[in-house]
Amino acid sequence: MDTTNLDINLSDNIPEDETGRQYYYIEKARLYVQELSQRIGRPLTFCVTTFGCQMNARDSEKLRGILKEIGYLEAEEETADFVIYNTCTVRENANTRVYGRLGQLKPRKKQNPYMMIGLCGCMMQEPEVIEKLKKSYSFVDIIFGTHNIFKFAELIVQRFSSGKPVIDIWEGTDAIVEDLPNQRKYSFKSGINIMFGCNNFCSYCIVPYVRGRERSREPQAILREIRRLADDGVVEIMLLGQNVNSYGKTLDHPVTFAELLTEIEKIDKIKRIRFMTSHPKDLSDELIEVMSRSTKICRHLHLPVQSGSSRILQKMNRRYTKEQYLELTEKIRKAVPGISLTTDIIVGFPGETEEDFQETLDLVRKVRYDSAFTFIYSRRTGTPAANMEDQVPEDVVKNRFQRLLKEVQDIASEVCAVHEGTTQEALVESLSEHDPSMVTGRLSNNLLVHFPGGEELIGKLVPVYLKECKGFYYLGELAG
């Protein structure tokens, strides 16, 4: 696509503050999109596809916000002129999927001269990936990483004005750029970044390398954003960070996560507060206390354990033992009765023996999780675990994985059944995917309930009688 002959003037005064600078580029990009749309006689469209965690989902909302401001219309990936993949690299299979999908885009780009492809997110922070893309996927138009996502509009302008592919990857940043556009997926609930990066360096994990060092946002900026969301109809918020329990420690005026929660609770229109993820080593008594008093913090805690073997936990650099973890969960259950506990577990970490694995099964039976995400260990280049001896053979790992999955699922369906016959508040999120005469609501404990109802209920908090537990969700009916 030749855009270099478009008559867009880029030599005006560019604002110096980063937010102002990006709004300047949003304006410029809008002119390009306008001219192009006129030339081809139809609007240009985009699709952002997200891989990975809630952090990436939130970043994608920012990308979407900028694209809408620029004048792109949202469309399905199959027809979009601008396809963006926001990538994840936490496990190898996330990478494989991106390469596969890119391969499928190539012929489409040949057919559509106005098509652009953008890649961003965690995978782009790996130098080997960039090398591979340069060599075998040179048809990609814009590549950027996790640290400069706020520059999206500027990079689009650069692509248009130069007519050449743009690759811009930063190794790290201290910058947190506030107040840029974003386009929420749901009108009534939203994620909010409270911190970026991670300092924990669990030995298997690539996140600290691709997301950089831990940085907390100023509490005033977070509260301002939440108030604005609340005025815009949001009733449920999810505070996001790789380790929210260490929020605020590095600020000039340190603030604890529990203090932040207490301030957020005072915002009237916010009815539900969730957060993710909690590292067990940093979960304070102060936080448990705030949770036990709160009427807004949801009765759900995601507390990744990773393994039930203290020996493996040490090799993972998690900095707690099986016993400490069990003590912590007991303390939480005592302080917040009925709380739902969920977790992440890795199977097949280097050196994991059958005895270690039995410790994990034992822990799962003791805690009785409401649900657990189970992962097969994936070797990530550059992490300490990748070079450890005794990588566990694939067939052994698969066998353990299946046994763990069965245990986790059996327990989860028993735990779920406990609430059968009670009435609980649900936030209605959508029409049911399987039956349009039903809606789907989320309970405080994060489980879903499907019940008869129409579109008018979406975004409302309503009491629902939980008639029947179906293993991982309920069938219910509106109460009262």
Number of residues that bind ligand F3S (CB under 6 A): 11
Asked whether position 201 contacts ligand SF4 by CB under 6 A, the answer is yes
Q: Which residues of 193-214 are buried (b: 16+ CB within 10 A; e: fewer)?
A: bbbbbbebebbbbbbbbbbbeb
The answer on whether 120 is annotated among ligand-binding residues is no
- CB nearest ligand F3S: which residue? 52
Q: Is 243 in the site for ligand SF4 (CB under 6 A)?
A: yes
322-335 and 285-293 helices cross at what angle (nearest 10)?
30
Q: CB 352 → ligand SAH: shortest distance, Å?
A: 12
Q: Which among 109-117, 227-235, 377-385, 392-400 is the span making contact with ligand SAH, rule CB under 6 A?
A: 377-385
SS3 (DSSP) at 317: coil
Least distance CB 305 / ligand SF4 (angstroms):
11
Tokens matching residue 404? 């763990």
Q: Does 125 bind ligand F3S (CB under 6 A)?
A: no
- In whole angstroms, give the CA distance from residue 74 to residue 36: 16
- For residue 65, count other CB atoms closer than 10 A to its CB: 17
307 binds ligand SAH (CB under 6 A): no
For position 63 contacting ligand F3S by CB under 6 A, the verdict is: no
55 binds ligand F3S (CB under 6 A): yes
Burial readout 124-154 (b: 16 or more C-beta within 10 A, e: otherwise)? bbbeebbeebeeebeebbbbbbbbbbbbbbb
Adjacency order of strands within the sheet including 73-74: 73-74, 45-50, 82-87, 116-121, 142-144, 166-168
Q: Residue 56 touches which of ligand F3S, ligand SF4, ligand SAH, none (CB < 5 to 8 A by kind)? A: ligand F3S
Site string for ligand F3S, 176-215 (x = CB under 6 A): -------------------------------x--xx----
| Alpha carbon distance 202, 349 (integer Å) | 12
Work out what residue 346 binds among ligand F3S, ligand SAH, ligand SF4, none; the CB cut-off runs from 5 to 8 Å by kind: ligand SAH
Residue 89 contact partner, candidates ligand F3S, ligand SAH, ligand SF4, none, CB within 5 to 8 A by sort of partner:
ligand F3S
Q: Interface with ligand F3S by CB under 6 A: which range of 86-94, 233-241, 317-325, 396-404?
A: 86-94
| Angle (deg, nearest 10), helices 54-70 and 152-162 | 50
Decide which of ligand F3S, ligand SAH, ligand SF4, none touches 58; Cβ closer than 5 to 8 Å per partner kind. none
* Number of residues located near ligand SF4, criterion CB under 6 A: 10
Asked whether 114 and 1 are in contact (CB, 8 A), the reply is yes
Instruction: Decide if 137 contacts 102 (C-beta within 8 A).
Output: yes
Tell me whether residue 243 or residue 329 sits nearer to ligand F3S (CB atom). 243
Q: Give the DSSP letter string of 419-446.
A: TTT-EEEEEEEEE-SS-TTEEEEEETTS
Binding ligand SF4 (rule: CB under 6 A), the pick from 64, 189, 279, 400 is 279
Q: What is the dihedral of CA 229, 234, 238, 241, to 10 degrees?
A: -20
377 binds, among ligand SAH, ligand SF4, ligand F3S, none (CB under 5 to 8 A by kind): ligand SAH
Binding status of residue 345 toward ligand SF4 by CB under 6 A = no
CB of 234 closer than 8 Å to CB of 201: no
The residues in 80-99 that bind ligand SAH, with binding defined as CB under 6 A, are 90-91
Cα–Cα distance, 247 to 375 (Å, whole number): 26
Residue 417, SS3 per DSSP: helix
Cis bond leading into 45, ω under 30°? no
Contact in structure between 144 and 127 (CB atoms under 8 Å): no
* Residue pair 356/307 in contact by the 8 Å Cβ criterion: yes
Is position 384 an interface residue for ligand SF4 (rule: CB under 6 A)? no
Give the one residue of 120, 122, 207, 464 binding ligand SF4; rule: CB under 6 A: 207
Contacts of 84 (CB under 8 A, 6+ apart): 46, 47, 48, 49, 63, 117, 118, 119, 120
Residue 415 touching ligand F3S (CB under 6 A): no
CB of 276 to ligand F3S, least distance (A): 11
The two tokens of residue 153 are 């509009």
Among 77, 344, 420, 425, binds ligand SAH (CB under 6 A): 344
88 binds ligand F3S (CB under 6 A): yes
Walk across the sheet containing 272-276 and list its strands. Answer: 189-193, 236-240, 272-276
201 binds, among ligand SF4, ligand F3S, ligand SAH, none (CB under 5 to 8 A by kind): ligand SF4
Among residues 242, 329, 424, 440, the one that binds ligand SAH under rule CB under 6 A: 242
| 169 is an interface residue for ligand F3S by CB under 6 A | no
Question: CA–CA distance from 186 to each of 61, 195, 252 (Å)?
Answer: 10, 22, 34
- Known binder of ligand: residue 202? yes
469 is in an annotated binding site: no
Does 205 bind ligand SAH (CB under 6 A)? Our answer is yes
| Residues at the site binding ligand SF4, with contacts judged by CB under 6 A | 198, 200-202, 205, 207-208, 242-243, 279
As annotated, the binding site includes 53, 88, 122, 198, 202, 205
| Residues at the site binding ligand F3S, with contacts judged by CB under 6 A | 52-53, 55-56, 88-90, 122, 207, 210-211
As annotated, the binding site for [4Fe-4S] cluster includes 53, 88, 122, 198, 202, 205
